[in-house]
């Protein structure tokens, strides 16, 4: 069920509610399958009897209708994949965050100067002074990673048994060499989440208007620190990566990752509509 907090102009909305807004903003009647969603929005006063939209939605809908920049934070962890992000509009900046098991995401206006902080918070970027690792670079293939992750799933909560399964899987794969092999075992064991931040906007390429994309992929391995996935290089297109694709992980301190997040964002002169 959708809801909103008028004191902070924040909303809890599912994708189906956003779809209703899109149809109404275009002057269209939502299709039949969306009418239960329309009814829910009417119950809380965000949609009127004639399909009119509540004034409190102005900033959110303005940003959704004409985004200048879209920043998405895709986080894969224990509860599966969650999609967060920030929509940068001309007059407002809206953060949205999902919650495991919930259909709705929370949409909240944020201050422009807090954009990098919000993205870092969404991926839980933390201080890592106490993190240790025996190597700083690991090179293997995506197929080997899949093998290690399959072994992790088979461990059934027994830490030593799981570690042994991963070691044996990597030994059979024959890559990477030691000490990278031992470190990859520990990274898979310690992993909190894999996350990727992608930033997209309208820019120019070779003098023509084009969609521009920058992305950063990171493993959060808790006591083993943060590891930037340099290969496969982001952004990745569907079908581009297979078992033989190179995998390269580089140990990276949190301060450097903060800078890399900052570097994803376009400058004003990079954007066509700025």
Q: What is the pLDDT of residues 107-127, one digit of tens each?
A: 999 999 999 999 999 999 999
Per-domain boundaries in the chain: 3-122, 124-201+213-252
3 state DSSP class of 214: strand
Q: How far apart are CA 97 and CA 237, in angstroms?
A: 24
Reported confidence tier of residue 146, pLDDT bands at 50, 70, 90: very high
What's the pLDDT score for residue 104?
Answer: 97
What's the pLDDT score for residue 274?
Answer: 57
Q: How far apart are CA 13 and CA 55, in angstroms?
A: 16
Reported confidence tier of residue 18, pLDDT bands at 50, 70, 90: very high
Q: How far apart are CA 3 and CA 54, in angstroms?
A: 13
Minimum mean pLDDT range among 36-50, 99-113, 160-174:
160-174
Higher pLDDT: 199 or 152? It is 199
Cβ partners under 8 Å of residue 13, min gap 6: 2, 104, 105, 107
Q: How far apart are CA 148 and CA 1, in angstroms?
A: 40
Predicted TM-score (pTM) of the model is 0.92
Give the mean pLDDT of 233-256.
92
Reported confidence tier of residue 133, pLDDT bands at 50, 70, 90: confident
Q: Could you give the strand order of the β-sheet that contains 69-77, starting from the edge strand earlier in sequence? A: 3-5, 10-13, 105-109, 93-97, 80-88, 69-77, 193-205, 208-220, 226-231, 246-251, 137-141
pLDDT > 80? residue 153: yes
Q: Which of 9, 208, 27, 177 minimizes the C-alpha distance to 106?
A: 9
Q: What percent of the chain has pLDDT over 90?
A: 80
Q: What percent of the chain has pLDDT over 70?
A: 99
Give the mean pLDDT of 245-249.
96
What's the pLDDT score for residue 62?
Answer: 95
Give the mean pLDDT of 45-71.
95
Reported confidence tier of residue 273, pLDDT bands at 50, 70, 90: low
pLDDT > 70? residue 12: yes
Which phi and psi (to 5°) does residue 20 adopt?
A: -60, -50
| Burial letters 132-170, b for 16+ CB under 10 A, else e | ebebeebbbbbebbebbeebbeebeeeeeebbebbbebb
pLDDT > 60? residue 143: yes
Predicted confidence (pLDDT) per residue in 185-228, tens digit: 999 999 999 999 999 999 887 777 888 999 999 999 999 999 99
pLDDT > 80? residue 255: yes
């Amino acid at each position: 069920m959708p809801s909103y907090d008028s004191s902070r102009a924040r909303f809890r909305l599912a994708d189906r509610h956003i779809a209703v807004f899109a149809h109404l903003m275009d002057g269209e009647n939502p299709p039949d399958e969306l009418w239960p969603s329309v009814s829910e929005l009417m119950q809380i006063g965000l949609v009127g009897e004639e399909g009119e939209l509540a004034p409190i939605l102005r900033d959110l809908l303005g940003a959704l209708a004409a985004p200048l920049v879209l920043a998405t934070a895709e986080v894969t962890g224990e509860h599966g994949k969650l999609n967060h992000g920030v929509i940068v509009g001309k007059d407002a900046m809206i953060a949205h965050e999902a919650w495991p098991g919930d259909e709705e995401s929370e949409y909240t206006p944020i201050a422009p100067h807090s954009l990098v902080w919000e993205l870092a918070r969404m991926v839980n970027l933390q201080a890592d002074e106490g993190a240790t690792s025996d190597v700083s670079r690991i090179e293997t293939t995506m197929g080997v990673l899949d093998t290690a992750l399959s072994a992790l799933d088979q461990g059934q909560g027994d830490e030593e048994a799981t570690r042994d399964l991963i070691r044996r899987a990597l030994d059979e794969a024959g890559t990477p060499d030691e000490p990278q092999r031992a470190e990859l075992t520990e990274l898979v064991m310690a992993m909190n989440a894999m996350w990727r931040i992608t930033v997209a906007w309208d820019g120019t390429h070779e003098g023509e208007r084009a969609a521009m994309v920058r992305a950063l992929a990171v493993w959060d391995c808790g006591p083993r620190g943060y590891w930037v996935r340099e290969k496969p290089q982001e952004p990745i297109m569907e079908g581009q990566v297979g078992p033989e694709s190179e995998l390269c992980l580089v140990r990276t301190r949190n301060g450097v990752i903060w800078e890399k997040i900052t570097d994803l964002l376009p400058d004003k002169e990079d954007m066509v509509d700025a």
